[in-house]
Amino acid sequence: MSTVLVVNSGSSSFKYQLIDVENRTALASGLVERIGEGAGRVKHRDLTRTDEGDSSWERHTPIPDHTAGFGEMIASFTEHGPSLEDNAPVAVGHRVVHGGRRFFEPTVITDLVKINIEDLSDLAPLHNPAAVQGIDAAQRVFGDVPHVAVFDTAFHRTLSPAAYTYAIDRDLAAKHRIRRYGFHGTSHKYVSEAAARFLDRPLEDLAQIVLHLGNGASITAIDGGRSVETSMGLTPLEGLVMGSRSGDLDPAVLLHLARRAQLSTDELDTLLNKKSGLVGLAGDSDMRDLTARAEGGDSVAREALDVYVHRLRHYIGAYVAQLGRLDVIAFTAGVGENTPVVRSESLAGLELFGIRIDEERNNATSRETRVISADDSAVTVLVVPTDEELEIAIQTLAAVS
Ligand SMILES: Nc1ncnc2c1ncn2[C@@H]1O[C@H](COP(=O)(O)OP(=O)(O)O)[C@@H](O)[C@H]1O
Ligand SMILES: CC(=O)OP(=O)(O)O
Ligand SMILES: [Mg+2]
C-alpha cells in the first residue's frame, strides 16, 4: 500500500489527509487551526473505523506555530489512529497556490524550490507564505520522505496567449510577470475528469464549465480536458464575487480610492482581499449565514446574493461563447456543492443555451456526484464533490515513483 500525506496550509491553519492512493481512499483527515492565536484547536478523524459515531476527536490546546501543529497532528494519529507506523507515508504532498511561470509539474521540494515558491508570495499573499511555513514544518517532522509541491496554477498552463494576456504595456508586463495564471486548477482538473467518468464519456469529447465556489471562487472553461479560460488572474483576486474578495472591478476604483480616500497600497490590498466580496456587501462571508438571512427577509443579504449570482451568470454566458459548445456544467466546493439557490438562480432562464435545471433534483441533499438538470436539458448539469487532496496525493505519488 502506498500512502501519501497531503497538506493544505493556510496562514493560521492547515488541513491534512492521509491517503491510500491505490484504493483512492482517505485513511484519516484533520484540521489544525488558530495557530499562534492562544486557543488552538485540532480536529482529527480516523476514517478506517467503521463505527461512525466515535471516529472523530477534537482537542483544544495552544499551538504556537506550524511545527507545533504538526506535533499535534502526530499525537492525534498516535492516540486515535490509524497508526502512522503501519501506514507510513511514502511522500508528503503540499498544495501550493502560485507556481508562476516556473512550475507546471508536481515538483519535488528542494531548498531552491522553496525559495522560488517564497519569491511568488507577492502574487498570492494569502496563500504562498503559508505554504512555505507548512512545508518547513512538515519537513522537520517528516524528514525522511520526499515532499512534493502541487500547484493550483498548473492545470491552466494550456491557456492561449489571447486568454492569458492583459492589454497593458508588453515590456512592463513581461518584466513583472503580469499575465493571467488561474487557480484552483487541481479542483477544476479533478472535477472535469470525475464528470467525464460519471457520464461514461471520453474527456476529450466534452466541453465543460466548472464552477468552484468555496471561500475563494473561480470558474473554468474546459475543452477536451484542457483549461481554455478561467476567471482568476495574476492573483486569486480576479473574477467571481467571493467570501471576502471583490473579484472583478474597474481598475480605476483603486486609483480613485488612492487619490480620494488616501488609501495606501496595503490598505487597498486588505480592502479587496479581506473586506470585500460577501463580507463587504453584507457582513457575512459564510454562504450558510447569508442564505439564512436572505430567506428571513434581510434585504442586505438578498442584495449581496443578487450581486454574487449576477457575476456568475456573466461568466457562464461568456464561457459558452468562448467554448462555442457546451456539454456539462459542474458545480463544486462548499457553496457549489451545498447551496441549491445559487445553482438554480445562476442557471435560471438559460434554456437558450440548452440548460434546464430540475428543481427537485437540485434541492435533494447528497454527498455523491449527481445530475441536477432535467432529462430534456441539452447540457448536463452536475454537482461533483471536489477532492483536491486525492488529486494531490495521486500527483505526488507519480512525481516520486
Ligand atoms: N452545508 C453547507 N451549506 C451551504 N454552504 C456551505 C455548506 N458547507 C460549506 N458551505 C460554504 O462553503 C464555503 C466554504 O467552501 P470551501 O470549499 O470549504 O472553502 P475553502 O476550501 O476555500 O475554505 C463557505 O461560504 C460555506 O458557507
Ligand atoms: C486560490 C484560492 O483562492 O484558494 P482558496 O479558495 O483555498 O482560498
Ligand atoms: Mg478550497
In short, whether 156's Cβ falls inside 6 Å of ligand 2 is: no
Task: With beta carbons less than 8 A apart as the criterion, state whether 26 and 390 touch.
Answer: yes
Whether 192 is covered by a domain: the verdict is: no
The pLDDT > 70 percentage for the chain reads 99
Is residue 118 located within the same domain as residue 49? Answer: yes
Whether 87 is covered by a domain: the verdict is: yes
Whether 277 is covered by a domain: the verdict is: yes
pLDDT at 353: 96
Whether 179 is covered by a domain: the verdict is: no
Q: Using CA atoms, how far apart are residues 349 and 356, in angstroms rounded to an integer?
A: 8
pLDDT at 54: 67
Neighbours of 257 (CB within 10 A): 15
Choose the weakest-confidence range: 33-37, 318-322, 371-375. Answer: 33-37
Per-residue pLDDT band at 294 (split at 50, 70, 90) = very high
CA 348 vs CA 46, 306, 334: distances in Å = 41, 13, 21
Is residue 86 located within the same domain as residue 207? Answer: no
Please tell me the residue having the least CA distance from ligand 1 atom 21.
Answer: 214
Choose the weakest-confidence range: 44-58, 85-99, 137-151, 255-269. Answer: 44-58
Task: With beta carbons less than 8 A apart as the criterion, state whether 347 and 331 touch.
Answer: no
pLDDT at 354: 97
Whether 209 is covered by a domain: the verdict is: yes
In short, whether 191's Cβ falls inside 6 Å of ligand 2 is: no
pLDDT at 124: 87
In short, whether 286's Cβ falls inside 6 Å of ligand 1 is: yes
Neighbours of 191 (CB within 10 A): 32
Distance 8 CA to ligand 3 centre (A): 9
**Rounded average pLDDT over 56-81:** 94
pLDDT at 100: 95
Residues at the binding site for ATP are 15, 212-216, 286-288, 334-338
Is residue 214 located within the same domain as residue 98? Answer: no
Q: Which domain covers residue 232, as residue numbers?
A: 201-388
Is residue 210 located within the same domain as residue 348? Answer: yes
Per-residue b/e over 79-105, b at no fewer than 16 CB within 10 Å? ebbbebeebebbbbbbbbbbbbeebbe
Helix (H, G, I), strand (E, B) or coil at 311: helix
Whether 206 is covered by a domain: the verdict is: yes
**Rounded average pLDDT over 104-128:** 93
Residue of 95, 287, 332 to mutate, ligand 1, most atoms within 8 A of C-beta: 287
β-pair partners for 370: 383
For 95: left if phi > 0, alpha if psi spans -120 to 50, otherwise beta; the answer is beta
In short, whether 216's Cβ falls inside 6 Å of ligand 2 is: yes
Q: Does residue 53 surpass a pLDDT of 80?
A: no
Residue entry with cell 463587504: 280
Task: With beta carbons less than 8 A apart as the criterion, state whether 375 and 321 touch.
Answer: no
Q: Does residue 280 surpass a pLDDT of 90?
A: yes
Is residue 34 located within the same domain as residue 143? Answer: yes
Task: With beta carbons less than 8 A apart as the criterion, state whether 38 and 60 touch.
Answer: no
Half-sphere exposure of 270 (CA within 13 A, CB side): 5
Distance 309 CA to ligand 1 centre (A): 16
| Nearest atom (ligand 2) to Cα of 97 | 1
Q: Using CA atoms, how far apart are residues 247 and 244, in angstroms rounded to an integer?
A: 9
Is residue 141 located within the same domain as residue 286? Answer: no
Give residue 74's Cα distance to chain centre: 25
Task: With beta carbons less than 8 A apart as the criterion, state whether 235 and 176 touch.
Answer: no
Distance 398 CA to ligand 1 centre (A): 30
Enter the pTM of the model. 0.95
Is residue 111 located within the same domain as residue 210? Answer: no
Distance 262 CA to ligand 1 centre (A): 34
Is residue 237 located within the same domain as residue 374? Answer: yes
Q: Using CA atoms, how far apart are residues 233 and 166, in angstroms rounded to an integer?
A: 9
Q: Does residue 161 surpass a pLDDT of 90?
A: yes
Distance 389 CA to ligand 2 centre (A): 14
In short, whether 140's Cβ falls inside 6 Å of ligand 1 is: no
Q: Which amino acid is at 260?
A: R
Q: Does residue 49 surpass a pLDDT of 90?
A: no
**Burial of 401 by CB count in 10 Å (0-12 exposed, 13-18 middle, 19+ buried)?**
exposed
- Give the torsion sign (CA, 186, 191, 197, 200): negative
Q: Is 86 an annotated catalytic residue?
A: no
Per-residue pLDDT band at 37 (split at 50, 70, 90) = confident
Q: How many domains does the chain have?
A: 2
Per-residue pLDDT band at 269 (split at 50, 70, 90) = very high
Is residue 224 located within the same domain as residue 370? Answer: yes
Is residue 247 located within the same domain as residue 139? Answer: no
Greatest CA span in the chain, whole angstroms? 62
**Rounded average pLDDT over 180-191:** 97
Q: Using CA atoms, how far apart are residues 43 and 65, in angstroms rounded to an integer?
A: 16
Q: In what helix (H) or strand (E) does residue 13 lie, and over which residues does it extend?
A: strand 13-20
Cα angle 320-205-21, degrees, rounded to a multiple of 5: 105
Per-residue pLDDT band at 50 (split at 50, 70, 90) = confident
pLDDT at 237: 95
Q: Which amino acid is at 47?
A: L
Catalytic residue, chosen from 20, 152, 284, 327, is 152
Last residue of a domain, which of 151, 168, 184? 151
**Rounded average pLDDT over 114-120:** 95
pLDDT at 36: 87
Enter the C-alpha cell of residue 314.
456573466
Is residue 146 located within the same domain as residue 218? Answer: no
**Burial of 336 by CB count in 10 Å (0-12 exposed, 13-18 middle, 19+ buried)?**
buried
Residues at the binding site for Mg(2+) are 8, 388
The answer to ipTM > 0.90 is: yes
Is residue 24 located within the same domain as residue 130? Answer: yes
**Rounded average pLDDT over 180-208:** 98
Within 8 A by CB and 6+ apart from 266, the residues are: none
In short, whether 334's Cβ falls inside 6 Å of ligand 1 is: yes
Whether 398 is covered by a domain: the verdict is: no
Whether 181 is covered by a domain: the verdict is: no
**Rounded average pLDDT over 167-189:** 96
CATH number at residue 141: 3.30.420.40
Q: Using CA atoms, how far apart are residues 319 and 329, in angstroms rounded to an integer?
A: 11
In short, whether 131's Cβ falls inside 6 Å of ligand 2 is: no
pLDDT at 105: 93
Please tell me the residue having the least CA distance from ligand 2 atom 8.
Answer: 216
